[in-house]
Amino acid sequence: MSRTSPAAAVAVLCCFVMMCGTPFLPGCEGCRHDEKSALLDILDQFDYYDSLDWSSRDCCEWDAVTCSSRTGRVTGLDLSILESIGSGSGLLNATTFLPLQELRNLSLNYLYIQGCYPGAGFEVWSKLRKLEILDLSNNKLDESSITSFVAVSSLRSLLLHGNAFSSNLTIQGLSTMKLHTLDLGNNYIHGKLATDICNMGDLQELHLSGNILLGELPSCMKNLASLRILDLSHNTGLILKFPSPIFPSLTSLVKLSLLNNCLEGVLSLSSLLSPQLTHLELASNGNGNHFQVQTENPATHPSAQLKVLVLRNCNLNGNSSVIPSFLLHQHALETVDMPNNNLTGYFPLWLIDNNVNLSTLVLRGNSFTGPFLPSKVHTNLHWMDASHNRLRKLPVDINTTLPNLRYLTLSGNYFRGTFPSTLSYMDNLQYLDLSYNNFSDNIASAFVGSMSNITALKLSGNHFYGAFPQDIQLPSILHLLMDENEIKGELPQKICDSMKLMTFDASNNELTGHLPTCIYQLSALAILKLKGNSLTGSIPSGLCGLRKLVFLDISSNNLSGPVHCLPNLYHVHMSENRLNGTFPIPLSVGTNIYTVDLRDNQFSGILPELIGKSFPNLKVLLLKGNMFNGIVPNDVCNLRYLRLLDLSHNKLSGQLPLCLYIMGLDDGLFNFEPGFGTFPELFEVTGLPDQEGFMTKGRQDNYRGNILNYMTGLDFSSNQLKGSIHESIGDMKWLRALNFSENNFDGSIPQSLSNLSDLESLDLSHNKLAGQIPSELAALPSLEVFSVAYNNLSGPTPGTKGQFITFDQSSYEGNPYLCGPPFLKSCSVPELEEHGEEDDDKVGDIILFGCSAMFYMAGFWTSLGVLYFKASWRWSWFSAVDMFSDFVMVKLAIYTRKIRGAS
């Protein structure tokens, strides 16, 4: 066997290198041809809109592709960069990935994958024997994919965050895998956490946040000794009782997140703070009195150096108001988030001084006083929330002490005076919230210097006055909130140059003039709130061009004229204006609208016949105080998510639909979080914008945010409706308020109303109802307001049973045949009828006797008078009497003789 000389080998190698330097020779590119072809086939399954640069001949240089420096083969592929929708079918052909035999890390995040083609499912990836990390987060996968994942035995990290998994079968099915990381966060997994999770002894990371887990954790979880990260946050029904045997046993934990769970008992912080723990997040969603964190007794572990500490609503040390002393010994903190713990004393500046890496400090909702700036310059603090404390003085050197501050909220304190000019020189400031203080200044002072570059500005609830500057320039503004001030004048046309503006709230000011005609230029606008001003004129047609507008509130102004068009909104509030024309919301099947408030305008015509099909997600419909006529359409029954319906004070007629009980049958969509996406960290800036007004318990109340989850009602009062109130109304068990007053309803009060166990207000007054009040209504446990006044009711009232002990005569007035409490007239129905008949007989006998006597006397004296003055009549009368007497005597003698003969 001949050997190649070293010189020859070097020559061959040099030749090979020279050949590979020639780009046109096959086999010399950085990645293999079969892998390059496979990558193109994979990409063809998605609509990627040229978002990737795959122009190089070497696919290892392509965006989203990672190759081995040793072999040149593809080891990583991250297509989440596409940010696209998937193919039309939503199905993936998993076999196209098989040529990538060295693939270790695959991310198909945000591609809206629903599953795989038959025969080309995820199970084929079992042939990719080096595939360890698979990220399929934020797709549409469900339990049908579980068995195919199990087949891929090489997997060690499986990320399924934000899909459609819904049952414990998910965890049961995956529990046989040898995973180190499992992420099932933000799915719909419901029920108690399956004990099968305890079989996954190799787990190092477990993410189950944002599901619907209920009950307590299985105690066997204490055996998951390898866990380094455990995230159970945002499962509001998950009950975690302390002291607990589980968490102290997990001695390898680096991060523990129990945010927005149902925490109970007393937790000694020292039981969790092992030396390796760096991230601790605790926040109870329940009653704060049921959970408390003890930090002082026993003493907290001194060797723990945390990076992230979150203690929200934790009733620290039994609400002692003292800031935890162990924080004095912390020097590695990057995030401190301790709102709503009733902490008092001077603002803890030492937290900033002691932790040079501190970037986020949230101490909202405590009672701190004094200065809140550190003694020296701190360049790492980016986020500071000191809202809702007792701070009074804003430092003039904040721009130099905290030069890199990006987010600052000081709302709900006691600051006063003019707008702090020092903020105008903070070049890095992006979000500023000074709302609900006592600042008083011309609004123009808030738009000078670096403020023109700000991203979000909230000055609500102060005393800013004057007019918006006509030359206002806010090229970077996303959220501008100026509500509840004293700002006057017209909205400047220049506001339309703020092309990035997403939220604009200038409600409850003193604005005048028309809505800017240039409003169509605000193409990013999502929330527009101008309620409670004095705006005039009509709604500009340019409003229709705002395709991203989902929340519109122009209530309580002087706007007039018809509404020609509106965009596809989620929330429409146009009440208390002088708008007219027909129902203004465009009808289209499958619209996203949730709330409609058109109260107290001059709209007329009939209600849309296809209202249920056009607005399938409608939760609130308020049409009070208009001139709508005709019947209530049957299609209103298809509003299966409706919770507040106010059609009062219109001109509606006819009978109510018999199918009304179907309305509001479902509550799956009943969530009043804003339906327009999430703004970055801005719920504290924008808040929950939706607020609904509804008349109940005799008063108009406003319900805001998720309080709307608990307020439900129907109001058909002050119309011309007729017919009977159907028994099926009693099936609407979600009702809390029901008002049918001032109509023409007849028939009886349905006994089925007693099934409405949550009913708080029932008004049936001013109708033509007859019969008795059902005694079963006395079983309604929550009834606070009740009226059946001015009907034709009779018989006994429900008396003083249950809640009816609180109702006085005004609830029953105008029904003269009612008796019993609260009337003084007592009643027992059988005795009342018997005595009444006896009394009637006695009166009749007296009347009959008197009339007979009167006629007898009159006839007797009249006959005597005639016989006295008329001799011929007197002779005839006595002759007739003699003849009659003789006849009687003869008959009597014959009758007597016969009787004697018989005897």
Closest CA to 757 of 739, 771, 776: 776
Are residues 339 and 366 in contact, defined by beta-carbon separation less than 8 angstroms? yes
683: Cβ contacts below 8 Å, ≥ 6 apart: none
Q: Which stretch of 74-83, 413-422, 697-706 has the lowest confidence by average pLDDT?
A: 697-706
pLDDT at residue number 45:
85
- pLDDT (average), residues 686-707: 55
Share of the chain above pLDDT 90, in %: 65
pLDDT of 157-171, one tens digit each? Answer: 999 999 999 988 899
Quick one: how far is CA 700 from the chain centroid?
Answer: 21
pLDDT given at position 861: 56
Tell me what the mean pLDDT of segment 231-247 comes to.
94
User: Is the pLDDT confidence value at 9 over 80?
Assistant: no
Structure tokens at 106: 């695959």
Q: Rounded to an integer, what distance in angstroms lies between the CA atom of residue 413 and that of residue 394?
A: 10
Same CATH topology for 448-549 and 550-673+693-794: the answer is yes
Which strand (E) or helix (H) includes residue 174? helix 169-174
| pLDDT of amino acid 168 | 84
- Longest Cα–Cα distance of the chain, Å, equals 186
Show the DSSP H helices in 21-98 as ranges. Answer: 33-43
Residue 24 predicted with pLDDT over 50: no
How far apart (Å, rounded) are the C-alpha atoms in residues 557 and 513? 11
Question: From CA 797, how far away is CA 246, in angstroms rounded?
Answer: 59
Rounded distance between C-alpha atoms, residue 898 and residue 903, angstroms: 9
- pTM comes to 0.79
Distance CA 451, CA 752 (A): 62
Contact 593, 617 (CB under 8 A): yes
Is-cis flag, bond preceding 822, omega within 30?
A: yes
The residue extents of the domains of the chain are 448-549, 550-673+693-794
192: tokens are 């108690």
Q: Are 531 and 552 in contact (CB under 8 A)?
A: no
744 pLDDT higher than 80:
yes
Structural tokens at position 833 = 């009828």
Among the ranges given (287-301, 506-520, 791-805), the one the predictor scored with the smallest mean pLDDT: 287-301
- Count the neighbouring beta carbons within 10 Å of the beta carbon of residue 191: 14
For residues 708 and 689, give the distance between their C-alpha atoms in angstroms, rounded to a whole number: 12
Per the CB < 8 A criterion, the answer to whether 527 and 689 are in contact is: yes
Residues 728-736 have a mean pLDDT of 92
For residues 242 and 267, give the distance between their C-alpha atoms in angstroms, rounded to a whole number.
5
The answer, yes or no, to whether residue 415 has pLDDT greater than 60, is: yes
671 against 865, higher pLDDT:
865
- The pLDDT value recorded for residue 375 is 84
Q: Over the chain, what is the mean pLDDT? A: 85
Cα–Cα distance for residue pair 18/7, rounded to 1 Å: 16
- What CATH number is given for 448-549 in this structure? 3.80.10.10
Using the structure block, give the residue that is written with the tokens 């296809």. Answer: 610
Mean pLDDT of 535-541: 94
Give mean pLDDT, residues 270-276.
89
The fold of the 550-673+693-794 domain, in CATH, is 3.80.10
What's the rounded mean pLDDT across residues 526-542? 94
Check residue 594 and give its pLDDT: 87
More confident residue, 65 or 699: 65
- Higher-pLDDT residue of 672 and 872 is 872
The helix/strand/coil state of 738 is: strand
Q: What's the pLDDT tens digit per position in 589-622?
A: 657 888 899 999 999 999 999 898 889 888 889 9
Task: Determine the pLDDT at residue 273.
Answer: 87
Cβ(399)–Cβ(375) below 8 Å: no
Q: In this predicted model, what pLDDT tens digit does every residue of 313-352 receive, in sequence order?
A: 999 988 788 899 999 999 999 999 999 999 999 999 999 9
Judge whether residue 154 has pLDDT over 90.
yes
How wide is the angle at C-alpha 546 spanned by C-alphas 543 and 547, nearest 5°? 140
Tens of pLDDT, residue by residue over 30-59, are 689 999 999 999 988 887 656 788 889 999
Q: What letter would DSSP give residue 484? A: S
- Percentage of the chain with pLDDT > 70? 81
- pLDDT reported for residue 754: 94
- pLDDT confidence band for 679 (50 / 70 / 90): very low
CB 142 within 8 A of CB 116: no
